[in-house]
Chain A
Amino acid sequence: MKDDVESREDRVGKLKGLGCSRKRVEDARFTQGKGNYVDDIKLDGMLFGDFVRSPYAHAKVVSINTEEALKVPGVLAVLTAKDLEPLGLHWMPTLAGDKQMVLADGKVLFQGQEVAFVVAEDRYAAADGIEAVEVEYEELPVLVNPFEALKSDVVLREDTVDENGAPKDGAHGPRKHHNHIFTWEAGDRETTEQVIGEAEVVATSDMYYHRTHPCPLETCGCVASMDKVNGKLTLWGTFQAPHAIRTVVSLISGIEEHNIRVISPDIGGGFGNKVGAYPGYVCSVVASIVTGKPVKWIEDRMDNLMTTAFARDYHMTGRISATKEGKITGLHCHVTADHGGFDACADPTKFPAGFMNICTGSYDIPTAYLEVEGVYTNKAPGGVSYRCSFRVTEAVYFIERMIEVLAIKLNMDAAELRRINFIRKEQFPYKAALGWEYDSGDYHTAWDKALKTVDYEGLRAEQAQRVEDFKAGKTRKLMGIGLSFFTEIVGAGPVKNCDILGLGMFDSCEIRIHPTGSAIARLGTISQGQGHATTFAQILASEIGLPADSITIEEGDTDTAPYGLGTYGSRSTPVAGAATALAGRKIRAKAQMIAAYLLEVHDDDVEFDVDRFVVKGAPERFKTMKEIAFAAYNQAIPGIEPGLEAVSYYDPPNMTYPFGAYVCVMDIDVDTGVPEIRRFYALDDCGTRINPMIIEGQVHGGLTEALAVALGQEIAYDDMGNVKTGTLMDFFLPTAWEVPNYETDHTVTPSPHHPIGAKGVGESPHVGGVPCFSNAVQDAFRAFGNVHTNMPHDHWRIWKTAHELGLHG
Chain B
Amino acid sequence: MGKKMHIQMQVNGKAEEFLAEPRELLIYTLRERLNITGPHIGCETSHCGACTVTLNGKSVKACTVFVAQADGAEITTIEGLGTPDALHPLQTAFKEHHGLQCGYCTPGMITRATKLLEENPNPTEEEIRFGMAGNICRCTGYQNIVKSIKAAAAEMNAAKEAAE
* A interface, CB within 8 angstroms of B: 23-24, 26-35, 37, 39-40, 42, 73, 122-124, 128, 215-219, 266-269, 271, 298, 300-301, 528-531, 693-694, 696-697, 700-705, 727-729, 733, 735-737, 739, 741-742
Contact = CB atoms under 8 A, between A and B. Distances in A.
B129 A736 contact: yes
Contacts of A40: 31, 37
A27 B31 CA distance: 21
B140 interface: yes
Given A529-B139, A694-B98, A700-B141, A301 B50 contact: no
7 contacts: A30-B103, A31-B103, A33-B38, A39-B41, A217-B138, A268-B104, A529-B103
B1 interface: yes
A737 B44 contact: no
B43 A728 contact: yes
A701 B45 contact: no
B40 A704 contact: no
A416 to B, nearest CB: 30
Nearest to B24: A124
Contact of B130 (A27, A33, A694, A737): A737
B144 A32 contact: no
B137 interface: yes
A736 B95 contact: no
Contact of A35 (B36, B91, B103): B103
B43 A33 contact: no
Nearest to A269: B102
Name which of B78, B103, B135, B146 has the most chain A CB atoms within 10 A of its CB.
B103
Contact of B141 (A26, A31, A739): A739
Interface string B126-143: 001110111111111111
Contacts of A298: 41
Contacts of B107: 30, 33
Name which of B129, B134, B135 has the most chain A CB atoms within 10 A of its CB.
B129
A266 B23 CA distance: 30
Contact of A217 (B28, B42, B92): B42
B101 interface: yes
The 7 A-B residue pairs whose C-beta atoms are closest, nearest first, are A33-B38, A30-B103, A268-B104, A529-B102, A700-B141, A704-B141, A33-B78
B96 A528 contact: no
A269 B138 contact: yes
Nearest to A266: B103
A736 B145 contact: yes
A548 to B, nearest CB: 16
Contact of B47 (A32, A37, A729): A729
Contacts, number: 173
B102 A31 contact: no
B103 A26 contact: yes
B13 interface: no
Given A217-B48, A700-B141, A530 B101 contact: yes
A780 B149 CA distance: 35
B74 interface: no
B82 interface: yes
B77 interface: yes
B62 interface: no
B123 to A, nearest CB: 12
Name which of B91, B104, B138, B143 has the most chain A CB atoms within 10 A of its CB.
B138
Given A31-B87, A39-B40, A703 B48 contact: no
A529 B139 CA distance: 7
B136 to A, nearest CB: 5
Given A218-B102, A701-B138, 18 more contacts: A26-B103, A29-B103, A31-B110, A33-B36, A37-B104, A268-B102, A268-B104, A696-B98, A697-B98, A697-B140, A701-B139, A701-B141, A728-B47, A729-B45, A735-B142, A736-B146, A737-B129, A739-B142
A741 B128 CA distance: 13
Nearest to B136: A733
Interface size class of B (residues with CB under 8 A): 35 or more
Contact of B91 (A26, A31, A122, A219): A31
Nearest to B102: A529
Contact of B45 (A23, A271, A728): A728
A30 B40 contact: no
Nearest to B47: A728
B103 A32 contact: no
Nearest to A35: B103
A729 B110 CA distance: 23
Nearest to A73: B1
Nearest to A26: B103
Contact of A697 (B40, B106, B129, B144): B144
A531 B137 contact: no
A216 B102 contact: yes
Contact of A300 (B44, B77, B130, B144): B44
Interface string B20-52: 010110001001100111111111110110100
Given A33-B78, A729-B45, A703 B141 contact: yes
A216 B47 contact: no
B61 to A, nearest CB: 12
B79 interface: yes
Nearest to B93: A31
B100 interface: yes
B63 to A, nearest CB: 10
Contacts of B42: 217-219, 301
Nearest to A528: B102
B75 interface: no
Given A27-B94, A32-B84, A727 B101 contact: no
A700 B103 contact: no
Contacts of A300: 44
A217 B23 contact: no
Contact of B40 (A37, A529, A741): A37
A735 B140 contact: no
A42 to B, nearest CB: 8
Nearest to B50: A217
B60 interface: no
Nearest to A706: B141
B146 A31 contact: no
B104 A301 contact: no
A727 B104 contact: no
Interface string B60-92: 000000000000000001110010100100011
B141 A733 contact: no
B6 to A, nearest CB: 18
